[in-house]
Chain A
Amino acid sequence: MPVLESSGIKTWQWRNQKQTLLEYAFWLALLLLMFACAKFIADRTTWGFVLDAPRQGREMLSRGVPPRWDYMSQLWRPLWDTLNIATLGTALSFVISVPVAFLAARNTTPNLLVRYIALFIIVGTRSVNSLIWALILVVVLGPGVLSGTLAIALRSIGFMGKLIYEGIEEINEEPVEAIRSTGASGAQVLSYAIWPQVITNILGVTVYRWDINLRESTVVGLVGAGGIGLQLDASINTLRWNQVSMILLVIFVSVLISEWISAKARQALI
């Protein structure tokens, strides 16, 4: 506890002089950096459009409210597609990421080379956003629900794989020892000692990712990979703001529902 003594009065201080100076230097550097960033962004902005924003916003609002309720009849199919992209994508990712996670976990991997390959798959798929996957897959497979599903699945492999393999590495080793000492084979150790310990975690991660995937699957349509994003893109391009607001409302409600389902399911697991 540094104490500052001036004219006989001791004052308690949080930090000593050197620490204080360092702290000020850090904040100054951050401030300068932020100024540089702001300048960079400002130089690349067309301020005429920005100043026009209040008028544009008012126009959007006045044309978007009230939403076009009867447009809903055309939205059921895209909504179903969106749900499928999220659910099938999560299911596919589950099928792939569970074995990959077992190969990547330090205590269940057969050897070091396999572990590094599995870790590479996890890190590689995680670093690429699902929208970029969708862009690539639309080129390869053509526009449609299939590209969206695969894009969501690929992005999820890394996410789920990482959380699952960290869960596997944290298991209690005693049951594993116990089962192994009965002379059980590797597969038996896996199914009787490790699997029961990690299954709740795996299901929890899956449900959590499904919730995220529903949000992501609403936008893959913007690059042509199916789902409600296609309608959103079309409505924005034709400036039908009352349809846009209807779609946003539908997305809002479905995300709230999926969040509720995911929270309930995870509660049931614990």
Chain B
Amino acid sequence: MAQATTLSGRQWSPPPLIKNPWVRWGLILGAVIYLIFALSTLNFDPARVARGMQRSGRLLLAFLHPDFTTRGNLIFTGMLESVTMAAISTVAGFIVAVPVGFGAARNLVPMPVYLVCRGLIALSRTFQEVIIAILFVVMFGFGPFAGVLTLIFGSLGFFSKLLAEDIEEIDAVQVEAIRSTGASWLQMVSYAVVPQVLPRMIGLTLYRFDINIREAAILGIVGAGGIGSTLNTSLRRYDYDTASAIILVIIALVMVVELSSGWIRKRVQ
């Protein structure tokens, strides 16, 4: 390396990621200016943080002796409610998403239907579940019903977008073949489209169940049912032992569901 350097008289350096130097330095300069601006508006209050550190000590200590038993009953029913919400809304969300997904596939339906379905998907995907949950809680009252509706709405956007993309990418030859036998639209869909998209959909259902479990664990914070409300209450009452127990249970549940859904997905596909 040293010899090569002296021979050519200059050091070799790897080519930069962005070739145009103006764009490269412009981006770097922009990032620096933004960072300075953003950090200056952060409102950092050292005194408050110092006070908080004491509390964080107590909170961390609580993780060493989580209290599962005192509010054991509440934790158990809360978790059960979260899991139930996730299960039913995954299945219901899938059922609702099938027609919307077909409607959002450009190669199957006329333009107006396509636009309506795409609009619905965009709406469901832009807003965080929690925001939808707040609106549903106002409409349908506190409790798991609002949470279930929220998760159905969220799953709807997820499933139908992926389903629509899958359908748009299917092999047109098979559709052509079934259609040439004189099949109706329904027969064409069930014999040429469904077999092509079904295997991936099963995997996606398990994946969405995984997401819904995570969401169902927090929706309670805004009153939409599940363990989140218990967690919120225990933190507000400085009952850190119970709060840490709840967080540990949530982590355990999320991990178990993630591992088992991954395992099933590997076996199905």
A60 with B41, Cβ < 8 A, contacts A30-B91, A46-B142, A222-B130 known:
no
A166 CB, min distance to chain B CBs, angstroms: 13
Question: Is A72 an interface position by the 8 A CB rule?
Answer: no
Are A37 and B140 touching (Cβ within 8 A)? no
Are B131 and A232 touching (Cβ within 8 A)? yes
Question: Is B59 an interface position by the 8 A CB rule?
Answer: yes
Complexed CA–CA distance, A187 and B127 (Å)? 43
A contact residues, total (Cβ < 8 Å): 60
Are A222 and B126 touching (Cβ within 8 A)? no
A56 with B138, Cβ < 8 A, contacts A145-B43, A146-B44, A251-B127 known:
yes
A49 with B140, Cβ < 8 A, contacts A34-B88, A124-B251, A222-B130 known:
yes
Residues of B contacting A52 in the complex (Cβ-Cβ under 8 angstroms)? 141
Residues of A contacting B135 in the complex (Cβ-Cβ under 8 angstroms)? 60
Scoring B residues 86 to 128 as 1 if CB is less than 8 Å from chain A, else 0, what string do you get? 0110010000000000000000000000000000000000111
Question: Is B72 an interface position by the 8 A CB rule?
Answer: no
Question: Is A132 an interface position by the 8 A CB rule?
Answer: yes
Which of B49-57, B157-165, B171-179, B181-189 forms contacts with chain A?
B49-57
Q: Which among A33, A48, A139, A252 is the interface contact of B59 at CB below 8 angstroms?
A: A139
Residues of A contacting B21 in the complex (Cβ-Cβ under 8 angstroms)? none
Question: Is B250 an interface position by the 8 A CB rule?
Answer: yes
B255 CB, min distance to chain A CBs, angstroms: 6
Are B141 and A49 touching (Cβ within 8 A)? yes
Are A251 and B130 touching (Cβ within 8 A)? no
A129 with B218, Cβ < 8 A, contacts A135-B231, A145-B43 known:
yes
Complexed CA–CA distance, A52 and B49 (Å)? 45
Residues of A contacting B215 in the complex (Cβ-Cβ under 8 angstroms)? 129
Complexed CA–CA distance, A34 and B251 (Å)? 25
Question: Is B10 an interface position by the 8 A CB rule?
Answer: no
Main secondary structure on chain A at its contact with chain B? Answer: helix
Residues of A contacting B34 in the complex (Cβ-Cβ under 8 angstroms)? 87
Residues of A contacting B247 in the complex (Cβ-Cβ under 8 angstroms)? 128, 132, 136
Are B84 and A132 touching (Cβ within 8 A)? no
A219 with B131, Cβ < 8 A, contacts A84-B41, A131-B221 known:
yes
Question: Is A140 an interface position by the 8 A CB rule?
Answer: yes
B contact residues, total (Cβ < 8 Å): 59
Are B141 and A218 touching (Cβ within 8 A)? no
Inter-chain contact total with CB atoms closer than 8 Å: 152
Residues of B contacting A144 in the complex (Cβ-Cβ under 8 angstroms)? 43, 45
Are B144 and A129 touching (Cβ within 8 A)? no
Question: Quick one: closest B residue to A141, CB to CB?
Answer: B52
Scoring B residues 25 to 47 as 1 if CB is less than 8 Å from chain A, else 0, what string do you get? 00000000011001101111100
Question: Is B254 an interface position by the 8 A CB rule?
Answer: yes
Q: Which among B91, B126, B138, B222 is the interface contact of A255 at CB below 8 angstroms?
A: B126
Residues of B contacting A2 in the complex (Cβ-Cβ under 8 angstroms)? none
Residues of A contacting B43 in the complex (Cβ-Cβ under 8 angstroms)? 144-146
Question: Quick one: closest A residue to B136, CB to CB?
Answer: A53
Are B49 and A141 touching (Cβ within 8 A)? yes
Complexed CA–CA distance, A129 and B91 (Å)? 23
Q: Which among B48, B52, B139, B255 is the interface contact of A57 at CB below 8 angstroms?
A: B139
Are B126 and A251 touching (Cβ within 8 A)? yes
Scoring A residues 141 to 176 as 1 if CB is less than 8 Å from chain B, else 0, what string do you get? 110111001000000000000000000000000000
Residues of B contacting A12 in the complex (Cβ-Cβ under 8 angstroms)? none
Residues of A contacting B143 in the complex (Cβ-Cβ under 8 angstroms)? 44-46, 49
A74 CB, min distance to chain B CBs, angstroms: 16
Residues of A contacting B197 in the complex (Cβ-Cβ under 8 angstroms)? none
Complexed CA–CA distance, A203 and B235 (Å)? 37
Question: Is B156 an interface position by the 8 A CB rule?
Answer: no
Question: Quick one: closest B residue to A149, CB to CB?
Answer: B42
A41 with B140, Cβ < 8 A, contacts A84-B42, A127-B250 known:
no
Complexed CA–CA distance, A149 and B39 (Å)? 11
Are B231 and A196 touching (Cβ within 8 A)? no
Residues of A contacting B250 in the complex (Cβ-Cβ under 8 angstroms)? 127-128, 132
Question: Is A180 an interface position by the 8 A CB rule?
Answer: no
Complexed CA–CA distance, A135 and B221 (Å)? 9
Complexed CA–CA distance, A181 and B125 (Å)? 50
Residues of B contacting A132 in the complex (Cβ-Cβ under 8 angstroms)? 217-218, 231, 247, 250
Residues of B contacting A37 in the complex (Cβ-Cβ under 8 angstroms)? 84, 87-88
Residues of A contacting B84 in the complex (Cβ-Cβ under 8 angstroms)? 37, 40-41
Are B145 and A50 touching (Cβ within 8 A)? yes
B185 CB, min distance to chain A CBs, angstroms: 21
A68 CB, min distance to chain B CBs, angstroms: 17
Selected A-B contacts with CB under 8 Å, 5 pairs: A41-B144, A88-B39, A142-B52, A146-B42, A252-B127
Write the residues of chain A forming the contact surface with B, with a CB cutoff of 8 angstroms: 30, 33-34, 37-38, 40-41, 44-46, 48-50, 52-53, 56-57, 60, 80-81, 84, 87-88, 91, 123-124, 127-129, 131-132, 135-136, 139-142, 144-146, 149, 182, 192, 196, 199-200, 203, 215-216, 218-219, 222-223, 232, 236, 248, 251-252, 255-256
